């Protein structure tokens, strides 16, 4: 069968618009059922709602809808690796919204090989050494790994700097005592050495670490150890679910310590569940506003929230807002890739992360904090905002919205720490 060249050319031209409108495949890894689902659910919902909103209000990226493939892996790294193979080989995703530390670190070589940007909810500092220049043991080049917000290590460094000032401001004598608490797992272990090293540098006495599992349980023994050690500042490296158990147990046995929560270690849901045991916990907040804020970007956030809550009445924890910001960074990097008729490929998306300085997604000013990524340094920010959880009464009755509105619970800004971009802290 022969087809004339003019006829064939016409057929190709006619097919081009349809081809140009092909959806952009994206993966979303979630923990909706595993040991970190307490914070995984609101974060994953923020990502999902933001990407759905982009489809609804912008018709996707460059007139191509985002085809998002979500997968709940239950915080089991082998399942995440298996799902990645399906996304990369069958669905040909061009970017992935990821989750945990063990799985994200296990996939570094894969995403580098396949050139697929991986925007994780793991803030492991090992993922920031984009060019592999740190030469640290166990850290490899991660040119396709990104995350929104400060690393776990930089979060604990900021809290330790605040703690040193807090110790002096309260007129305390001697060396303050610091202890790392958490599961023996890549996620809570990620900032352990970095935190202990800076604690020593700042004059703290570093106590032996105390282990407790990622799941809720009876942690009375750990709290008694904490009490007997005489710790002044204790870092909680786990997610909120198991931290709640620790806070309650420590309140029961009368532990007097300033708890420092990691970025996933405290939120409004945890405050409600722990009650007054959560009062006073200091932890990093990645966004420039929390739910109920009035910044200019909150209008877009509320519109995104209505994707899964048409009533507009749901209270969204801090992790939901961070999920939105992480998703919108990926979307704008895609838009940069697509500019001027460009292809939306993994490499072009990666380069899109380097295209802006002090980068805040358009329309999210006051919510998403500025990010700066460089080809050799994926520490998007060294600015760490610290908040204090305040719980002044019974949280058993009432919704999050009601408790926050009544002032029974609140998130109070403490300070913002600007960390130096120390070369020896890259990847650590």
Decide the pairing of beta strands 210-211 and 177-182: parallel
Q: Would you state the pLDDT for residue 340?
A: 85
Q: What is the mean pLDDT of residues 109-136?
A: 96
* Single pTM value for the model: 0.94
Instruction: Provide the pLDDT confidence category of residue 246 given band limits of 50, 70 and 90.
Output: very high
Helices vs strands, H then E, count in the chain: 15, 13
pLDDT, greater one: 384 or 137? 384
Q: Would you state the pLDDT for residue 295?
A: 83
Q: Would you state the pLDDT for residue 14?
A: 41
**Contact predicate 144/116, CB 8 Å:** yes
Q: Which backbone phi and psi does 173 adopt, to 5 degrees?
A: -105, 155
Q: Would you state the pLDDT for residue 320?
A: 98
Element containing residue 282 per DSSP (H, E): strand 282-285
Instruction: Provide the pLDDT confidence category of residue 16 given band limits of 50, 70 and 90.
Output: very low
Instruction: Provide the pLDDT confidence category of residue 239 given band limits of 50, 70 and 90.
Output: very high
Q: What is the mean pLDDT of residues 167-174?
A: 95
Instruction: Provide the pLDDT confidence category of residue 137 given band limits of 50, 70 and 90.
Output: confident
Residue 228: other Cβ atoms inside 10 A: 9
Instruction: Provide the pLDDT confidence category of residue 9 given band limits of 50, 70 and 90.
Output: very low
* Distance separating the N- and C-terminal Cα atoms of the chain: 64
Q: Calculate the alpha carbon distances from 278 to 101, 250, 317, 321 in Å.
A: 25, 10, 15, 21
Kindly give, in sequence order, each residue whose CB lies less than 8 Å from that of residue 258, ignoring residues fewer than 6 positions away.
163, 166, 232, 233, 234, 280, 282
Q: To the nearest whole percent, how much of the chain has pLDDT over 70?
A: 95
pLDDT tens digits for range 355-368:
999 999 999 999 99
Q: Would you state the pLDDT for residue 135?
A: 82
pLDDT tens digits for range 91-104:
999 999 999 999 99
C-alpha 209: how far from its chain's center? 24
Distance CA 234, CA 28 (A): 33
HSE (side-chain half, CA atoms, 13 Å) at 240: 27
Length of the chain: 428
Q: To the nearest whole percent, how much of the chain has pLDDT over 90?
A: 93
| Three-state helix/strand/coil letters over 355-411 | CCCCECCCCCCCCCCCECCECCECCCCCEEEEEEEEECCCCCCCCHHHHHHHCCEEE
Q: Would you state the pLDDT for residue 18?
A: 44
Q: Would you state the pLDDT for residue 385?
A: 98
Distance CA 344, CA 328 (A): 15
Q: What is the mean pLDDT of residues 240-268?
A: 97
Distance CA 125, CA 151 (A): 5
The residue ranges of DSSP E strands in 135-277, in sequence order, are: 145-146, 177-182, 205-206, 210-211, 233-236, 258-261
Q: State the chain's mean pLDDT as an integer.
A: 94
pLDDT tens digits for range 171-203:
999 999 999 999 999 999 999 999 999 999 999
Look-up of token digits 């002090």: 358
Distance CA 232, CA 172 (A): 11
* pLDDT value at 11 more than 50: no
Q: Would you state the pLDDT for residue 15?
A: 43
Instruction: Provide the pLDDT confidence category of residue 223 given band limits of 50, 70 and 90.
Output: very high
Look-up of token digits 């679910």: 241
Copy the structure tokens of residue 18: 């349809």
């Amino acid at each position: 069968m022969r087809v004339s060249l003019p006829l064939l050319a016409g057929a190709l031209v006619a097919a081009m618009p349809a081809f140009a409108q092909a959806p952009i495949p994206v993966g979303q890894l979630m923990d909706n059922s595993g040991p970190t689902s307490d914070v995984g659910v609101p974060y994953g919902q923020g990502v999902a709602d933001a990407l759905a909103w982009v489809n609804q209000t912008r018709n996707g990226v460059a007139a191509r809808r985002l085809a998002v493939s979500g997968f709940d892996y239950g915080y089991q790294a082998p399942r995440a690796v298996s799902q990645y193979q399906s996304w990369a080989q069958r669905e040909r995703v061009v970017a992935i919204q990821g989750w945990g530390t063990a799985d994200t670190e296990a996939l570094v070589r894969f995403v580098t090989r396949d050139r697929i940007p991986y925007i994780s909810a793991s803030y492991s500092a090992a993922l920031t050494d984009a060019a592999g220049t740190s030469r640290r043991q166990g850290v490899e080049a991660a040119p396709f790994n990104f995350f929104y917000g400060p690393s776990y290590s930089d979060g604990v460094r900021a809290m330790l700097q605040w703690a040193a000032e807090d110790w002096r401001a309260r007129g305390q004598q001697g060396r303050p005592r610091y202890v790392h608490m958490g599961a023996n797992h890549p996620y809570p272990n990620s900032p352990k050495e970095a935190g202990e090293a800076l604690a020593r540098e700042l004059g703290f006495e570093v106590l032996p670490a105390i282990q407790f599992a990622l799941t809720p349980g009876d942690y009375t023994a750990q709290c008694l150890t904490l009490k007997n050690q005489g710790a002044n500042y204790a870092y909680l490296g786990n997610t909120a679910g198991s931290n709640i158990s620790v806070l309650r147990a420590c309140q029961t046995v009368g532990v007097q310590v300033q708890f420092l929560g990691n970025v996933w270690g405290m939120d409004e849901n945890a405050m409600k569940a722990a009650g007054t045991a959560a009062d006073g916990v200091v932890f990093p907040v990645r966004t420039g506003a929390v739910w109920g804020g009035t910044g200019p970007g909150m209008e877009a956030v509320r519109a995104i929230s209505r994707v899964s809550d048409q009533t507009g009445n749901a209270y969204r924890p801090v992790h939901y807002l961070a999920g939105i910001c992480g998703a919108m960074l990926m979307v704008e990097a895609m838009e940069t890739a697509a500019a001027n008729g460009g292809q939306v490929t993994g490499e072009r998306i990666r380069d899109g992360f380097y295209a802006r300085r002090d980068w805040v997604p358009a329309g999210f000013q006051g919510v998403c904090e500025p990010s700066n990524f460089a080809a050799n340094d994926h520490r998007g920010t060294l600015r760490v905002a610290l908040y204090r959880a305040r719980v002044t009464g019974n949280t058993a009755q009432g919704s999050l919205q009601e408790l926050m509105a009544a002032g029974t619970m609140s998130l109070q800004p403490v300070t913002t720490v600007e960390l130096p971009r120390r070369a020896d802290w890259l990847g650590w």
